[in-house]
Structure 1
Amino acid sequence: TLDMKFSSLVTLISVFSFVLAQEEWLNPSCPQICDCRMTEWVAPTPEVVTSWRKTEQCRNVKDVSIPDDAEVLNFDGSSRIKIPQLVQRMAELNNVVDLSLTSCNLSSLDSGWKSTSLLRLNLNENALTEVSESSIRGFPNLEELTIERNILKHIESSTFRNASNLKSLQLDSNLLDSLDWLNGTDGLNGLTKLFLGGNRLKYPILVNGTFSKLASLRDLVLDGMGIRRIKGGAFKGLELLETLDLDGNALQSIPSEALRFLPKLKFLNMNDNLIKQLGDKSFSEMRNLVSIELTNQPELRLVDDRSFFNLKSLERVLLFGNPMLSYIGKNAFVSCPELSLIDLHDTMIESLDKDVVDGLPSLVSIEMKGNPINCNCVMMWLKDWLVDQTARDKVVCASPPRYRLSRLVDVNDNDVTCAPTVQPTFPLRMVVPDTQQVVLNCRTFGIPQPKIVWFLSSGDIIRNQTEAQRHQMSLDGSGTLTILKPKSGDYACTAENNRGMASRKVSVQVLHSTTVKVIYTDKVEPISVFPSWEVESPEYNISLLEPQQTYK
């Protein structure tokens, strides 16, 4: 058509014009040791703006002549460059919007820097120990500042007092041990992206109001900071936050109370933490959440009912690589109409109740590769649910013995049983102080639903809450036994139906000390360290080190 021909002509003319412009800028004043050309440039703003900029790239230079009309300067790797001369030349240029000085062996950011046109400054991989208010003041229109992999140790609250135009601040992998400076500055109220990963906090707790001055923040990255606890008001004021990265910390539970202050949150990454259990409404009905990542949790055993309750926008949940995860509650994903992916590969999941997927109209994929699947009648529904051939080939049986290494889809429905199984949702051994309650989550599979009974080493049997109270314990309807005043001994959860019986035992040793707080897993490894003393026996080998600071 005529319109298509005209459109093609316009495109051809645009390309030809760009080539001419590029060739024109390549000639006049570009130093021979540099590469000068037009490059595509993305502005450091929330709204992505792409344009073509005159770019000069010079590596490992000492003296360089910068063309007057240059817009993007890249001196990465130029450890010999003369910074005073560069500072003076920058003040004379009115078009430079982007300056990169990665790996230039900078030890300080001279207060003489000045550029009213600069929008982006990259100082990665240098030796900067501080950034002063006077040095930032020289870039009044700066929108993106990147100082990753330096040795920044401290930042004053006044440093960014005059940085109202700053949109992105990246300070990953430095030596910052405190975030107090964030709460003391009013200059970052326009910031939309903050990256602080890899800075190990001296006191690994996010306190109330830590980010209260950052009302415009959309993306917050706090990975690898050693965070152990997040107080309820730590995220107060971040009502526009959409992405939160808490990867690689030491959190033992979901900070549900703190997450309530993030109504717009879409993407949550909590991979590589120490989460032990997901329970009722762990995510506080966060209706804008699209993706939750909880992979590589070495202590996560249980995802209980209503863990992901009423998450109307949730599309994917990643739970793979959790070596102790053995149970997903049948009502774990209630009211998640958009959920399309549940990734459970490489966990200890043996069985998955059909009720888990019922009521999930958008669910397309359940990843189960690498799990010790028990191909009993509980899992037969999955044969029909798996439509994709690749997915069908991945689900391989670990039990019963006659079907070991067989594909689930090859199992004869009439040749499997519905006898009970007890999932390893509690450890085999525990060492605890006498001041700490012990919670044992017993979860079972079987058809019909098995009845749970607890046996004590004393010979007593606990079938219901009334019997539990006699022993200063509590038993709920899901099979969780809470021992209010623990005593040393064996506790066994037994599941029984008309097809058979199964049992799992835990040995609990109580240590009479008010200072000890030690929890053991199946590997019998201490989680915390306390005053120096030792206990040794054929079953336990405990070595506790010197006292460390504890946090409440």
Structure 2
Amino acid sequence: MFVSGVRTDFLSIHPARRNTRKETTWTTMIWLLLLGIFVSSTQSLGCPAGCVCNDDTFVVECEKSKLDVFPIALNPAIQRLVLKNNKIKTVDAALHFYRDLQYLDLSNNHLVSIPQGSFKDQEKLQELHLNKNKLSVVNNRTFTGLKSLTVLNLRENFLDELPKDLFYVLPNLEELNLGQNRISKIDKNAFSGLHSLRVLYLDDNLLSAVPTHSFSVMGNLAELHIGLNEFTDLKSNAFAGLGKLSVLDLNGAGLPNISESAFHGLVGLRTLNLADNRLRVIPTAQLSHLPRLEELTIGQNQFITIEANAFKGLSNLRKLDITGAQELEKIEKGAFSTNLNMETLILASNRKLQMLEEGSLVGLPNLRHLVLRANAIKTVSESLLSWNDLKVMELTDNTIHCDCQLLWLNKLLLKKNLTNIQCASPLQLKDKPLKMLRADDLGCSFSDPKQQAIMVTLGISAAVIIGLLCLFLFRYRQRVREALKDYKWNRAAISRKEHEYQKTFSDDEYIMRNTQSHMKPIPVTEL
């Protein structure tokens, strides 16, 4: 009974236990499933393959990681995210997870477009680099939400137009790079709202004229890079409204002409690059409107001569670079006579430049760096400038003819330890360092320059004295002739008188007189 009772009790409760077991099993399965999901999700969180993540500094770098989508499983607190050199094609919703970003680099990817509102949650973002992509169109909604952005880099894309109010939503932007695009049209209000902009790159585009009408809203602009375009000239007041501009880069702008008032209003300009244009003369009058200019680069143009006072008015000029002027042949005396504050002068790679006139570099008391590299200079005069004040001097890669005229330079190289100079001629000295040559090697008669100076002085003095004597004799030749006649007549008369005086004595008497005059008296002794 007991057993049967027990069994009966067991059987009576078994269905309930069986249900409990089923519930426990399902619960366990659910928990295992959730655990698996959690584990798998935990494994997916963190650094993607090829990335470097630092949770202490909140920096993630995924350079050349072969990513084709924006990573979604990174630490939401990251502040600096570098995704350059990947294959990302679009900026998707994943960006919204990273609201603390301050720096985002998406350069050198495959971005074709950016959906509107992609950056609406990036209120802390300060730098955005989208350069080296395939962006062809952007508008003012593209950058909505980037109210803290200070640097925007859109270089090397396919932008061809800047529409109205494009950057209006970026009130704190300080640097904007639009270089190496295909921009040919800029709306006059394209830069509206950029009151804080300090640096603007518009170089290497398809602009046919300086977009003067677009500059007026950027009164605080300090640097403008607008070279490598297709300008035909610079018109008057081309940079109106940019009174605080300090750096202007017009390198490779294709300029054959510059209006006399093109730089009017740029009273604070300190650095100007006019290299690689088509200027046939130094624009002296145009440059005179830049009284505070300190650095000027003007090589790779087509001028043949740098005339006297070519840089008149640039009293604060400290550095002048004339490199690669393929037609430049001559620098006239006084070319830099008004540039008394010049410290660095670079005249390099001007393959036809062989003449530096006497005095062309005179009057530069502050000159410390002189570069005359890779020209066609054969000799250098000691009186060209004050050589002892130089700290750096380069004369390499010239056609230097080493002779006694360069003995002073030989001694200067030893004394100052300046850049070495190799001889190009004569043949026996070819490729030999000037510093290592002796006075005899240079064909000098006297090794001491003082002796040479003394001999030259004596030679000149003797020539002057002889010349004056000849001039005196020629001028007073009549008097000299008469004096000589009188002298000869008097001498002839004296000779005749002596002859007559001697004739008054007979020969015997003359002999007797001479004998008596030479005879001594003989003393007589008395006996």
Q: Please give the range of the TM-score, normalised by the shorter of the 2 chains.
A: 0.5 to 0.7
Q: Are 2:394 and 2:419, in contact at CA under 8 Å, matched by a contact in 1?
A: no
Partner of 1:190: 220
Partner of 1:456: none
Asked if 1:139 is matched to 2:161, the reply is no
Work out the number of aligned pairs and report it: 377
Asked if 1:119 is matched to 2:150, the reply is yes
The counterpart of 1:167, out of the listed 166, 177, 198, is 198
Greater relative contact order, per chain length (Cα 8 Å cut-off, separation 6+): 1
Distance apart, 1:184 and its partner CA: 5.7
Q: Are 2:363 and 2:385, in contact at CA under 8 Å, matched by a contact in 1?
A: no
1:313-335, CA deviations, whole angstroms, 9 ceiling, x for partnerless residues? 31111111111101112212232
Partner of 2:390: 363
Q: Secondary structure at 2:370's aligned position in 1?
A: strand
Larger displacement relative to structure 2 (276-285 or 381-390): 381-390
Which of 1 and 2 has greater Rg? Answer: 2
- Residue type matched to 1:58 in 2? L
Partner of 2:403: 376
Against the structure 1 CA distance between its residues 336 and 26, is the aligned structure 2 distance closer, same or farther, given a 3 Å change threshold?
Answer: closer
The counterpart of 2:136, out of the listed 104, 107, 117, is 107
The counterpart of 1:57, out of the listed 82, 101, 105, is 82
Q: TM-score, normalised by structure 1?
A: 0.63
Against the structure 1 CA distance between its residues 353 and 213, is the aligned structure 2 distance closer, same or farther, given a 3 Å change threshold?
Answer: same
Q: Are 1:183 and 1:213, in contact at CA under 8 Å, matched by a contact in 2?
A: no
- Residue type matched to 2:383 in 1? D
Q: Are 2:269 and 2:290, in contact at CA under 8 Å, matched by a contact in 1?
A: yes
Distance apart, 1:37 and its partner CA: 9.2
- Distance in 1 between residues matched to 2:190 and 2:339, nearest whole Å: 40
- Distance in 2 between residues matched to 1:37 and 1:402, nearest whole Å: 73
- Residue type matched to 2:316 in 1? N
Q: Secondary structure at 1:194's aligned position in 2?
A: strand
- Distance in 1 between residues matched to 2:309 and 2:154, nearest whole Å: 43
Q: Are 1:192 and 1:219, in contact at CA under 8 Å, matched by a contact in 2?
A: yes
Asked if 1:214 is matched to 2:239, the reply is no
Asked if 1:303 is matched to 2:334, the reply is no
Partner of 2:475: none
- Distance in 2 between residues matched to 1:253 and 1:183, nearest whole Å: 29
Q: Are 1:397 and 1:408, in contact at CA under 8 Å, matched by a contact in 2?
A: no
- Distance in 1 between residues matched to 2:74 and 2:55, nearest whole Å: 15
* CA root-mean-square deviation: 2.9
Against the structure 1 CA distance between its residues 170 and 98, is the aligned structure 2 distance closer, same or farther, given a 3 Å change threshold?
Answer: same
- Distance in 1 between residues matched to 2:362 and 2:222, nearest whole Å: 33
Against the structure 1 CA distance between its residues 169 and 36, is the aligned structure 2 distance closer, same or farther, given a 3 Å change threshold?
Answer: farther
Against the structure 1 CA distance between its residues 163 and 393, is the aligned structure 2 distance closer, same or farther, given a 3 Å change threshold?
Answer: closer
List aligned pairs for 1:128-527, cutoff 5 A: 128-179=159-210, 181-183=211-213, 185-201=215-231, 203=232, 205-358=233-386, 362-387=389-414, 391=418, 393-399=420-426, 401-409=427-435, 410-412=437-439, 415-416=443-444
- Residue type matched to 1:346 in 2? A
Q: Are 1:206 and 1:227, in contact at CA under 8 Å, matched by a contact in 2?
A: yes
Distance apart, 1:195 and its partner CA: 0.7
Q: Secondary structure at 2:165's aligned position in 1?
A: helix
Against the structure 1 CA distance between its residues 408 and 58, is the aligned structure 2 distance closer, same or farther, given a 3 Å change threshold?
Answer: closer
Distance apart, 1:298 and its partner CA: 0.9
Among all aligned residue pairs of Structure 1 and Structure 2, give the percentage whose two residues are the same amino acid: 25
Distance apart, 1:168 and its partner CA: 0.9
Q: Are 1:34 and 1:58, in contact at CA under 8 Å, matched by a contact in 2?
A: no
Q: Secondary structure at 1:386's aligned position in 2?
A: helix
- Distance in 1 between residues matched to 2:161 and 2:74, nearest whole Å: 31
Q: Are 1:321 and 1:345, in contact at CA under 8 Å, matched by a contact in 2?
A: yes
Against the structure 1 CA distance between its residues 208 and 416, is the aligned structure 2 distance closer, same or farther, given a 3 Å change threshold?
Answer: farther
- Residue type matched to 1:147 in 2? L
- Residue type matched to 2:371 in 1? D
Q: Are 1:36 and 1:57, in contact at CA under 8 Å, matched by a contact in 2?
A: no
- Distance in 2 between residues matched to 1:391 and 1:363, nearest whole Å: 9
Partner of 1:485: none
Against the structure 1 CA distance between its residues 148 and 263, is the aligned structure 2 distance closer, same or farther, given a 3 Å change threshold?
Answer: same
Q: Are 2:113 and 2:135, in contact at CA under 8 Å, matched by a contact in 1?
A: no
- Residue type matched to 1:139 in 2? L
Q: Secondary structure at 1:374's aligned position in 2?
A: coil
Q: Are 2:166 and 2:191, in contact at CA under 8 Å, matched by a contact in 1?
A: no
Partner of 1:455: none
Q: Secondary structure at 1:350's aligned position in 2?
A: coil
Q: Are 1:309 and 1:335, in contact at CA under 8 Å, matched by a contact in 2?
A: yes
Q: Secondary structure at 1:384's aligned position in 2?
A: helix
1:168-221, CA deviations, whole angstroms, 9 ceiling, x for partnerless residues? 110111111111x215642021110111121122x2x22221112211111111
Q: Are 2:195 and 2:218, in contact at CA under 8 Å, matched by a contact in 1?
A: yes
- Distance in 1 between residues matched to 2:131 and 2:288, nearest whole Å: 39
- Distance in 2 between residues matched to 1:34 and 1:76, nearest whole Å: 19
Q: What are the ranges of 5 or more consecutive residues in structure 1 without an aligned counterpart?
A: 1-19, 39-53, 418-446, 449-552
- Residue type matched to 2:126 in 1? V
Q: TM-score, normalised by structure 2?
A: 0.66
List aligned pairs for 1:67-106, cutoff 5 A: 67-80=98-111, 83-84=114-115, 87-106=116-135
Q: Secondary structure at 1:373's aligned position in 2?
A: coil
Runs of 4+ in 1 over 6 A off after TM superposition: 33-38
Q: Are 1:375 and 1:416, in contact at CA under 8 Å, matched by a contact in 2?
A: no
- Distance in 2 between residues matched to 1:132 and 1:316, nearest whole Å: 43
Partner of 2:45: none
Q: When you count strand as a share of all residues, which structure comes out higher? A: 1
Q: What are the ranges of 5 or more consecutive residues in structure 2 without an aligned counterpart?
A: 1-52, 61-69, 446-455, 458-527
- Distance in 2 between residues matched to 1:288 and 1:35, nearest whole Å: 54
- Distance in 1 between residues matched to 2:73 and 2:179, nearest whole Å: 27
Against the structure 1 CA distance between its residues 171 and 309, is the aligned structure 2 distance closer, same or farther, given a 3 Å change threshold?
Answer: same
